[in-house]
Amino acid sequence: MRADGRPGRRRDWAVTLVVVAALGLGAWAYLTSRGDDSGALWSRLPGGTDVAPATDARYLSECGDCHFAYQPGLLPARGWDRIMATLDDHFGDNAELDPEARTAITEYLIQNAADTSHLRRPAQIVRSIPARDTPLRISEVPYIKDAHKDIPARLVTGNAKVESASHCDACHVQADKGYYNDSNVVIPGHGKWTD
């Protein structure tokens, strides 16, 4: 305060700075929470998710036992529905559950499936699948297959530390957080992926 009772210029500046910083932070939080990944700046910032992380405790324990617990946003509801209806013949394994657990997990997957997500990656997944198809494998979804078309087979199926395109978490080091950006990939035995 100056003698005439008006705040000094310095304080005006300080207030302006605080307001600008708050707006910037708000915009950053909004953009990263949308998980947009169009190659824009915010998609490179830490904290941006591509697919909402899997949170249901029962899903994580029942379906994360044999392999990575895929996020529900990686398949449309009709894919999850079919998987959960055929657990006795699950890719050559028997993954049957008691009816109560099966119902609860099916509901969780369907409620959070790719077709219910507002994030960009699930939307791309859904858009890439013809309406007549019901994919059971995320790794066979056209968008996901296309994203990996430049990776030589020797680094995937021919790589003892990866073995299968299904093992997302072998290469995407933050797959469990729902973060699949190609800037954050380390292929075991090969190193960081740079394209």
Per CB under 6 A, which region of 9-17, 28-36, 112-120, 144-152 contacts ligand HEC?
144-152
Q: Which of 35, 48, 49, 63 binds ligand HEC (CB under 6 A)?
A: 63
134 binds ligand HEC (CB under 6 A): no
155 binds ligand HEC (CB under 6 A): yes
Q: Which of 62, 73, 110, 114 binds ligand HEC (CB under 6 A)?
A: 62
**Do 119 and 52 contact (CB within 8 A), yes or no?**
yes
Q: What is the spatial distance between Cα 61 and Cα 51, in angstroms, rounded to a whole number?
A: 19
137 binds ligand HEC (CB under 6 A): yes
139 binds ligand HEC (CB under 6 A): yes
Residue with the two structure tokens 């915010």: 42
Which among 30, 72, 29 has a CA at the least distance from the CA of 52? Answer: 72
- Residue 23 burial (CB count, 10 A): 10
For residue 164, give Cα distances in angstroms to 1, 50, 58, 119. Answer: 68, 21, 25, 26
Which residues of this protein are in contact with ligand HEC, per CB under 6 A? Answer: 62-63, 65-67, 70, 74, 83, 87, 90-91, 93, 95, 105, 121, 137-139, 144, 147-148, 150-151, 155-156, 162, 164-168, 170-172, 180-182, 185, 187, 193, 195
